[in-house]
Amino acid sequence: MVETAVKIDNVSFKYRNSDSFALRRISFEVAEGEFILLAGFSGSGKSTLLKCLNGLIPHFHAGSFGGNVEIFGKSTLESETTQLAKQVGFVFQNPENQISNLTVEREIAFPLENFGVPKNEIISRVDELIALLNLEEIKYKSPYSISGGEQQLTAIASALALNPPILVLDEVTAHLSPRSAVRILNLLNELNTKHKKTIIIAEHRLDRCLHFANKLAFLEKGQLKVFDDVRTVFQNKEFPENMLPKIPSLFLKLDKEIGLLDEKANELPLTVEELVATLK
Amino acid sequence: MSLKILEYFNYLEQKSPLHFVDPRGKTLFIIAITCLTIFLDHIIPMCIILVIMLPLIFLGRFTKRWLKSLLFLTPVILLVVILNALLLKVDYPTTKAIILGLRLIILSGFFGLFFQTVSPDDISQALIKFKFPYSFAWAISTAYRFIPTLAKETNIIIDAQKSRGLQIDRGNLFKRVRNMIPLLIPIFATAMRRSWQLAEAIESRGWNATKNRTYLYSLRLKWWDIIVILLSLGIFALFLYLVITNAPLPFWLAYNIPERFELKRLFLIAWTWIKNLFS
Ligand SMILES: Nc1ncnc2c1ncn2[C@@H]1O[C@H](COP(=O)(O)OP(=O)(O)OP(=O)(O)O)[C@@H](O)[C@H]1O
Ligand SMILES: [Mg+2]
């Protein structure tokens, strides 16, 4: 049986210096090994929701927190963010503001050092991650002399250092060129399929990653409007039309005009290849 | 004077032999050599130190930058030497003035070399070895690491405010100071946001998770570090010996520029010569 990795139960949160709730009564579950996409307009509460997953909310950000978040059955209220680092790896939007060491190698070693891992184990773990993410060439470089994409890969490697089963990413491709973004999203797909990581990601480039996601969550003004399988979620009326990714929206339009959906309702195509195959 | 001179005293990421010397050894050395240079009061010993400094500057791959920094310093040093030679009321004023100039050259050389070969990371690791808390050492190296980012950001903010019509380098002093406010507020705000995000990022990766933090790299004294430390202690011992005994130097080290070459006298001769020429 597949375990429940994340259980979010009726979570609400209001920042201390704000007068409206950033999250309102949100509930959903994520099974181990799933790839979850989180969509929503700016200010809808995506970052806030993700910060609940590793305890930054409510431990780091003051405010009124209601409900409960469980990571593998254990409430985040019971452990500090620092300890949750072993369960949940977190990568932030701005690569420059999350790197704090002088070389890539040492940035990856940082969490291991924090947990008092013996030096020889740190060395082998760092090398493992460097090989996995193809960072050999920048191993000894300063985080300032590498590209934004490489900085973000470094941040991902660092988040993976403690080998957490869950990886949470907050708009990690927002500052990147399309090419670097695709490289990162493909890496996440590999981490998900090959290394069985549970991945929860807030992402704008839906077109680039829909096809390897399992479910899509849509937030609006702090409320969870839609949470469903990627193949059926776009037929939900709650999903805003201007946010529809290209291929599904094209298909739905074609369907409206010509009426294809009846027999293919459960196989909404997500990529060009799938669209071609379906139309044949 | 331009702040550009500071550029020659920055850490430079390269792999010179001096970069591999333990920062504790280098610190000891710079303290010892500074004490000795300030205490010594004769031209020949100063020249000896200068001659010893040259190969070290070469070893530290500092030669080019050092020469450039000298170019900056030369006018200052010349001014100091000439004024002192003319105005000092001691025996042998020209000798003393030249010693002052040599002292400036030697100290700027050694300190430039020191800052170029000791990385901020070296400093934080040395602090850890001296049992400072890790968070303090981390703050030091992180602050240094963010200098380029903050500089870049500050330039962006300045450009942005200029494009909205802010005039930074116009008007009287009061006006200029007042014009700084639209710059300082966004600079401060982005720095604050940055530090919050950084705090979140380290918190999410096990900051302070255990008391027994381990280190991928830590300082360890090698044989050459022992030599540097012994050498520094030797220099320091020499300094103490000279201070305590106040022993006179042997005559061949205690050379002074003879009276007839005193700068003041040469000036006077030149002056009368010129005067005679016109009368
Ligand atoms: N530290 C904070 N203090 C007070 N209010 C905050 C804080 N962070 C976010 N908010 C508010 O909470 C709401 C949700 O913000 P959040 O950052 O979670 O949105 P988001 O979906 O991640 O947006 P974006 O796409 O711009 O990153 C917003 O109204 C925002 O103004
Ligand atoms: Mg956000």
Residue-wise pLDDT for A79-107, tens only, equals: 889 999 999 999 999 988 899 888 899 99
> In the structure, what pLDDT confidence band is assigned to residue B81 with cuts at 50, 70 and 90?
very high
- ipTM of the prediction: 0.89
User: Could you tell me the CATH number of the domain that includes residue A89?
Assistant: 3.40.50.300
Atom number in ligand 1 closest to CA A46? 21
Classify A6 as helix, strand or coil: strand
Average pLDDT of chain A, as a whole number: 90
| Residue A250 shares a structural domain with residue A234 | no
Residue A159 within a domain: no
Q: What is the pLDDT of residue A49?
A: 97
Over residues A141-153, mean pLDDT: 90
The encoded tokens of residue A40 equal 């929503």
Interface contact B198-A161, CB threshold 8 A: no
| Residue A36 shares a structural domain with residue A77 | yes
Chain position carrying tokens 């200098």: B147
Which of B19, B146, B203, B205 would best serve as a mutation to test chain A binding (most A beta carbons within 10 A)? B205
Tell whether the model's pLDDT for residue B61 goes beyond 50.
yes
| Residue A196 shares a structural domain with residue A276 | no
Domain extent, residue A275, equals 245-280
| Residue A249 shares a structural domain with residue A233 | no
Above pLDDT 70, what percent of chain B? 96
Nearest-ligand number for the alpha carbon of B192:
1
Interface contact A85-B204, CB threshold 8 A: yes
Classify A46 as helix, strand or coil: helix
| Residue A212 shares a structural domain with residue A275 | no
| Residue A233 shares a structural domain with residue A249 | no
| Residue A261 shares a structural domain with residue A233 | no
Of residues B156 and A224, which shows the higher confidence score? A224
Tell whether the model's pLDDT for residue B2 goes beyond 50.
no
CA of B205 to the centre of ligand 2 (A): 19
| Residue A88 shares a structural domain with residue A179 | yes
CA distances from B16 to A56, B21, B60, B109, B218 (A): 43, 10, 5, 16, 19
Of residues B184 and B227, which shows the higher confidence score? B227
| Residue A17 shares a structural domain with residue A89 | yes
The encoded tokens of residue B188 equal 């401060």
| Residue A202 shares a structural domain with residue A257 | no
Rounded CA separation B269/A252 (Å) = 102
| Residue A249 shares a structural domain with residue A235 | no
pLDDT, one tens digit per residue, over B158-170 is 888 888 887 777 7
Long-range contacts of B250-258 (CB under 8 A, 24+ apart): B252/B44, B253/B42, B253/B44, B253/B45, B254/B42, B254/B44, B255/B42, B255/B43, B255/B44, B256/B42, B256/B43, B256/B91, B256/B92, B256/B95, B257/B43, B257/B92, B257/B94, B257/B95, B257/B98
Tell whether the model's pLDDT for residue A30 goes beyond 90.
yes
The number of distinct structural domains making up chain A is 2
Residue A117 within a domain: no
Task: Specify the range with the lowest mean pLDDT, choosing from A165-174, B43-52, B176-185, B207-216.
Answer: B176-185
Radius of gyration of chain B (CA): 25
| Residue A87 shares a structural domain with residue A198 | yes
